[in-house]
Every structure is written in C-alpha cells, then in structure tokens.
Amino acid sequence: MMLPSRTAFLTLLAGILVTSVQAQKAAPTAKPYSAVGKQVQVYTTANNTALHLTATDKLTFKEVGQPLETQPTVFVDPNHTFQTMLGIGGAMTDAAAETFDKLPKAQQQEFLQAYYSPTAGIGYTLARTSIHSTDFSSGSYTYVADNDKALKTFSVKHDQQYRIPFIKQAQAAAGGKLTMYVSPWSPPAWMKDTKNMLQGGKLLPEFRQTWADYYVKFIQAYEQQGIPIWGLTVQNEPMAKQKWESCLFTAEDERDFVKGYLGPTLKKAGFSSKKLIGWDHNRDLMYQRASTLFDDPEASQYYWGLGFHWYETWTGSAMQFDNLRRVHETYPTKNLIFTEGCVENFQFSGINDWKLGERYGNSMINDFNAGTVAWTDWNVLLDETGGPNHVGNFCYAPIIGDTKSGKLLYTNAYYYIGHFSKFIRPGAKRIATAASRDVLQSTAFLNTDGKVAVVVMNSTDQEQPFQLWIKGQAAAASSRPHSIMTMVIN
C-alpha cells in the first residue's frame, strides 16, 4: 500500500515543480533602460548669469564607445535602483507664518505658488512644524495651563491665528496634500527638572506619560483642523543645551521613553501608522544614537527611521556624510530623513551670497546618495531680519519676505533646492550615478512617469565639459562655473 502513495506523492510534487517553473518563465521581466532616441532637457542655475532654474540646452544621445580617461563623464544607470523618494520641503514655523501674514495678498499668492505649485513653482510636497514654540516663534508658549497633568486645558488656539491658516493655504497650493511631520523643542517648563523651557534641562520621570499624551493631543488637534499628520520626531536636537527651547535626552533616555511611553501611547491612540523618527540632530553622533535605539527590539519596533541635521559644522567639522552611510548599511530597514538645515548668522547684505545655494546642493546630493528618502529645509520664509526669533538666533531662509517693502527676495538656495524638488517627485527611485571628475557632484532618480532626472553641481571657478553616459549612449554637455543643472531625460 505504501508504493502507490509514494508514487502519487512524487507525481504531484513533479507537477508542482513544473507549474512553478512555467510560472517563473511566464513572469514579465523588467525591460532594461535604454537611452536610444531619448532627448535631454537641461535646466540651469549659474552664478553671474540670469539663469535661475532656466530651461537652457536640449541634448540628444548618440552611440559612443568605451569612454576614455580623458573624457569627463557622468555615468547613469537606471537599471539599478535604491531608495524611494518620500518628498522634499521645508518647515512651516511660527516665524514663517507671521512673516507671511505681513505680506501683501499678491506676494502671499506668489509665495504659495513659488514653493508649492509643481508647475509654476518648485513643487514642495513635505513639511515640518513644531509642537508649541521654538526659537523661531515671537515668544515661548505651550498648549496647556501650568501643572495640568491631565491635559484638560489642552488647546492649539494659539496656532489658529497664524500657523494653521498658513499651513492650510500651503496644502491647497500643493494640490490638497502636504506630507506633514511634527517635532517638539521642549516639554512645558513644569514637566522639566529645570522648570524652564529654555537652556536644556530634562523631562522629569513622573511626567513621561503626560508628555507622551501631549504628542497625541497635538496630533488629534491638528487633524481636527484638517491637517493630517504623517509622522513625528521624538525631540528636536536632544543633545544640545540651547538658549532657546531645548530638552536633553541621552540615547538611553530616548530609547526608554519611546519603548515605555511614547510608542505604546501612540499605539493605544490608534496612531501606529504615524512614522516615528528618532534622533533629529546632527550627523556627528547619529551612529551611536541609531545603535542604541535600533539594537533594542522593544524600542526599534516603534521607529520608522532616523532624522538628522547638518549643523555638525559648528565644531569646525565638514558635513559627515560617511556617518549616514554607516547607519544606512547597518540598519537598511530603517529610513533616513533630513529634518533640518539652514545657513546661520543672518546678514541682509548676504542674501545674494552664492555659497548659500551651494551648501544646499552639496548636502542634498550627498544625503540622497547615502540613502536619504526625504529632505526638509528649516524655515520656508523669514523676514528682513532673519526672524522673527525670540532669542536673536537669526538665520537665512531660501525666500526672505521684506515686510518693509512688501517684496519677496529669492536667495539662490531657493533655486538650488528647486533643482531637486521640482524634478525628483515622490515615488521616484534613486538610480546609480558616478562622475569621472571630482568637480562634478551628481545624483539621479527615475520618476514614476519614466523620466530620469540627473542633478549635476559644479562649485568650482572652472567650466567643465562632460558627457552624460547611459549604457553606450552619450549626450555632450557642459557644467558652468558655480552652477547646478538638472538634466531631464524623456
């Protein structure tokens, strides 16, 4: 009786294997990308010219042989893809909202189109805002009465004057959707050991649950105002004692707060889908933070990824992109998001400094090439003083709203960011790119509509001719001195 059963089993197994092989053969394979017959539209921003995101050259691919060492080349390979783009945008702070409110209606509409229209502007799709006050507020405030541990007095009425209407207008200009995440700078003073929202201090253990509840209350309040919240960071700059709103969390403090309080509280509130972002500080210490948060399974389950800033330069260091790569290669299932960057020490006389944009271009190219999925500038708008800021910490924004003249002043940072945000859209996948000359920095993405966007930056004083090369097809191009170009391949 055993033999027929065994034979039947083997026959059945053979049938399954044949069917499986046939199914594998029948499955469609991705067609390799080819540049044959494709056109390239070049958009350029360059110093000492009138070119600002200007459509300049139209290029054509032609068949070429093996590139020579003497031929400067930017290689692009759309057949190898990496992370998927979430979005690019900036922070919608109290300072930005208050400055916006002071502008004439025509300039308000110009501003909204400039940032949020994907056709008339640079197509921002991402935004960050704060849980109560930051340095870029006209003063310190919270959403509850002092010592209200039950949070019965919680209200975002303060934000209804400037910030909430500002965000809703930006949402509308962006086509009805803006991916929004939120960050706290400090718990209310009465929850801290210093009894002060400013100058660092730490969250008192007895208020950990109250503080976790506060995040939930904020998300609920903003969503009731018609502002969906995609995610949140645990604490802005948790290792910096600042003269403005700040609060210190060691890596262990953050880990334990998230796994014991914030993570479970978000889950209980039905907010498990909200993306929780750790660190939210500079690249210098980010590996140590990542290892502490993500090597603990209880804490790691709540984290979507790690946020980072670019201010490690305050120590005299260059931007530490290798630290991003270490985190990405060690924790490939966690996401990287640039959560804040600006050029500090505002001077009105410096708004035409070309280095403003080049700092953005350098960071964005290297951050994306290291695996970053989203990139958020700091204030989208500031006034002619680099504020308002209640502790005098004035800095640059890509657009300055001159409230005295009523005009908008565009720094080249606006155009440099636009070379990415306008042409690399949500859902795009980064593709392989490499340049044969160090004067050419590049990154490239394949958009969902099939268009390839290649960004090439030259921060030197010399023009650099090169060829854009894809699998034996090349298009001749040239990078102007101190320029950034986006090459869109149709």
Q: Catalytic residues, which ones?
A: 237, 340
Q: To which residue do tokens 């050259």 refer? A: 57
Strand 275-282 versus strand 303-309 pairing type: parallel
The encoded tokens of residue 218 equal 């904020």
Core vs surface per residue 177-209: b (16+ CB within 10 A) or e: ebbbbbbbbbbbbbbbebeebbebbebbeebbe
User: Is residue 203 a contact partner of residue 252, using CB atoms and an 8 Å limit?
Assistant: no
User: Is residue 207 a contact partner of residue 142, using CB atoms and an 8 Å limit?
Assistant: no
Q: Which of 471, 472, 482, 429 is nearest to 453 (CA)?
A: 429
Q: How far is CA 213 from CA 236, 271, 415, in A?
A: 18, 12, 40
Q: Tell me the CA end-to-end span of the chain in Å, nearest whole number.
A: 67
Q: Which of 347, 349, 260, 353 is nearest to 302 (CA)?
A: 260
d(CA 375, CA 364): 8
- In the beta sheet, which residues pair with residue 248? none
Residue 201 Rama label (left phi>0; alpha psi -120 to 50; beta): left
d(CA 391, CA 276): 29
Q: To which residue do tokens 């640039």 refer? A: 338
Q: Tell me which H or E stretch contains 474.
A: strand 473-479
- In sign, the C-alpha dihedral spanning 358, 426, 282, 409 is positive
Q: Which of 402, 400, 321, 315 is nearest to 356 (CA)?
A: 400
Q: Tell me which H or E stretch contains 91.
A: strand 87-91
d(CA 428, CA 83): 8
